[in-house]
Structure 1
């Protein structure tokens, strides 16, 4: 029996329709994936450098004219220790001890600006102390009972003509006794890390007051940060009651930039000078702090003259040695690499120059800027800094954009 009506699709036609639908879906999927691949963010390039965190100034370490006897030490503020000689054993330092006396007084009784500070009245005991010291040939300033010295007057008498009797008077005024004041001196030395120093009196007259050049340089560095101390030790002369004009024993003032700090000499200590000097390098003014100790001589003038010879030689050598050096050349010091394999070197935009001396280790800091996905020649990718000097890091070349194939096939 024949049935008339709509024909029923054959299985072959159904399979063809399904295949067509599947193909269309696949094409849509491929198109979506391709579109996604093309619009995806491209990863930033990566930057690596070969710049060390510490670089030594190139060249042979300096050989300075250190004294053959005694000891010496040199420090350049903000840069580091330039070197030293001798000094393995603590020795008497004479009146250099008064640097600590002044330091303790100013720590306990700070002065600012032109302030004179409180008055110290000379008592009968102070006059007796002065008279008792005269027979031993000590450095003194004349005092009379009832005389009033301001704190600044007393510090000027202490540091310029190196008055031992004023060191004693200041100690009593501050701590009530020399013993108590000496304890303060040694406590201050401990706080500054002066491990090879021992004070037994505030003037340095006793040979049992001992130290090293290195320790006294540490103290001097701390003391000259006190503006009033720095002002006083640079004075060539001053005027105080009774005595009138007093003069600074430091003949090195103004020589090779010296602006202080203190002489010291005894038979046991020999000649000593702890000093500070201004050093101009380019547009900077540096401070050199040093000491030359325990120099020979038959008397104080001979001892201090010998010290001064060595200080002049050392500071002249420092001026020739401490200057501007190239720490890092303007040549490739790293590389930028893109995610698709492109790369270019990076270099400082100019040589990185610092103030120092050959062999000085200089800390170096590198900071980077995210370079983005592609790189153009000359683009800034970071900076390198040393001794407050900064130089940009720049790409040496450009990197081509990624290919269409890379964009479509990247994972």
Structure 2
């Protein structure tokens, strides 16, 4: 958060102008393209195919991201102009259309001992779908506002985000191992690209004088509205996942993937769709990003402290790839089904962004096969009886 605030302050004091603004804009696009290239090189094809089997979880995350969020954004239209200005509301509504995040969703799911593999796939699927769906939703819901949609803007977003991702996937067989061994590179590129886009957008806003439209009262009001939005989405994802019969580990993945919005994907889209007005459009997204990080950090630690985070509870969800109904796995089935599929979760550890994620997954994998010794007890009498015969 300090780095983000420092970047905003730098843009206010020393905004990029003229040729410097052009160079900074090109650098921001290159860094964002590199970020999505690394995302593609990091996500294994096998993991993606296995993640597709858990279609119920991914459908729930996509519905939260691209259905419930936009509906809540439309419901906030009544706050204009009493609480939010029209420009801030456009940015708030655009925030509701942005795809989910990848990095922080994985990190918080790992801390909370949830289904890390599902969080990886859910965040990746949401980002890929959002590359096409977010501009279409913006055209439908923000057509009369500052956002301008055209085939050129869609093509620009696809070339900037989707093309590097697909290139990374294509080159994964040759560079995937290197990327996995240097995970910190991805985190640095992520932060640097976001900070560069923020600097370019806020510099443009300072040069055009758009910040005179925002008062401290409006900022506090916007932060309050976003706090309510986050609270509602955390409740919807948690309660809805429980009502749909998901296991605890899957519910954690749904909460952290379905209630979050991605800054790395949203900022480039805003600069393309809003153009000169992007500085105000990205402000709600930036505030929501910081708010969700602080709240979800506390929530993840609370999940991790709960007593039912034992491996016997989280194990079946992490290892069972069947999309039918995770709640159907009873104690009598935990042994046979928990031991064989647990081997499939190994590759997912290569894609976790930090080494701290691996122990969370490993704890579940060690716990899941613990039913094996109880299954092996009746085997000895059969062997002894066979020898006696």
Q: TM-score category by the smaller chain? A: under 0.3
Give the number of the structure whose residues are more often strand, by fraction: 1
In the superposition, the TM-score normalised over structure 1's length comes to 0.26
Greater fraction of residues in helix: 2
Say which one has the larger Rg: 1
TM-score scaled to structure 2, two decimals? 0.27
